[in-house]
Amino acid sequence: MKKLSFLAITCAAFVILVAANRSTPDPYGLKKGSASVQSISAISFGPDGILFIGDSKSAMVFAVDTKDKTAIEKAAAVEVKDIDKKIAAALGTETKNIRIQDMAVNPLSKKIYFAVQVVDGTPVLLTLEGDKFQSVNLKDIAFSQVSIANVPGEDVKDRNGRPLRDQSISDLNYADGSVMLSGLSNQEFGSTFRKISFPFTDKQEQASLEIYHAAHGKFETNSPIRT
């Protein structure tokens, strides 16, 4: 009888241990891994410290858990002079070798995040910690991703020889459970608004913006929309 009782207690303890260790599904569908971001065209914050990264080169939108969730009621004043020089110095290069693509403020922590593209094509995500810039790790993190539909092909260029794919995302923002993007598509009228549900699903909505340029007397089919 004692053996049966001991066995029952052991089994119950094992079941409790397994239940405790079983990972709870992330409410936003994020999974641990490394986000293979090829470029950073635009960034914007969503709920609970989640940062959305628009990657034109890979035609993807990434949702990254920054774990930066400590709420601060009031943001401190920030003044950074020669910010391009300081960012370049933090990356060990010169200002001519970098381009500041975008910046976003975490509405919880009030920290400022910067999207930077190095001339060799390397994308860098930085945050301002005091008066210093720190790199944001995109490896071994919780994230999810979604492909953008109907983007320009990798080999398609404008009349100046610039890849149209690089302009597939010109801006993005989050509101009411959706990520909204502006940029170019592969449709006749390239300027396009997109709406993607978050947590990410296969559902995407898009609408083209038709522009008639009176001075040129023609429709602008490849002018990238900027918001």
Tens of pLDDT, residues 146-183: 999 999 898 888 888 888 889 999 999 999 999 999 99
User: Is the predicted pLDDT of residue 8 greater than 80, yes or no?
Assistant: no
Is pLDDT larger for residue 33 or for residue 162? Answer: 33
- Read off the pLDDT of residues 96-152 as tens digits, 9 standing for 90 and up: 999 999 999 999 999 999 999 999 999 999 999 988 999 999 999 999 999 999 998
- CA 130/CA 110 separation, integer angstroms: 12
AA identity, residue 192: T
Predicted local confidence at residue 3, as pLDDT: 53
Question: What is residue 47's predicted lDDT score, i.e. its pLDDT?
Answer: 96
* pLDDT for the residue numbered 146: 98
pLDDT, greater one: 219 or 207: 207
For residue 191, the Cα-to-chain-centroid distance in whole angstroms is 20
The predicted pLDDT at position 44 comes to 98
pLDDT band at 64 (very low <50, low <70, confident <90, very high): very high
Range list of β-strands (E), the chain: 31-33, 42-45, 50-55, 60-65, 98-105, 112-118, 123-129, 132-135, 141-147, 171-175, 178-184, 191-197, 204-208, 211-213, 218-220
For 177, the enclosing helix (H) or strand (E) is none
What pLDDT is stored for residue 17 in this prediction?
Answer: 47
